[in-house]
Homo-oligomer: A and B are copies of this chain.
């Protein structure tokens, strides 16, 4: 058994108010990561890290995630060139979520071609049903995913 990359979880008071990093990964070994643009504050994406992705992100200051679709370590930008330079990395009270503030090295983050993944808004104040339609909230795509990802 390999040595754990982070401290084991201690008492609740230590986890919630102490200085020991003891992240809680779920049954699949992952925790969610909110990635925001350091300059605009915009939420760019929500993705997941396992322990190795978190360790590599801390050490290299370049965002690493765990790709759930490809089931592999994912150095963001390795294919597209759109890497993310980490400026701040924060963990929440119960240490089961990460907030990462980054400088995007390129046009955007979303594989569909937008700057961020949250390019559609849900209308508010009505009962959800078939008539509810998402509204596009960005000016448009900032890059051509076919060119960037070659597919």
Contacts and interface: CB of A to CB of B under 8 A. Distances in A.
B43 A43 contact: yes
Interface residues of A, number: 57
B117 A97 contact: yes
**Copies of this chain in its oligomeric complex:** 2
A58 B58 CA distance: 37
A104 interface: no
* Overall SS of chain A's interface: loop
A120 interface: yes
A119 B130 CA distance: 40
Contact of A118 (B41, B46, B91): B91
Interface in A39-98: 40-43, 45-46, 54-55, 58-59, 61, 86, 88-94, 97-98
A92 B46 contact: yes
Contacts of A121: 88-91
- Across the A-B interface, the 4 shortest Cβ-Cβ residue pairs: A41-B41, A92-B117, A46-B97, A90-B118
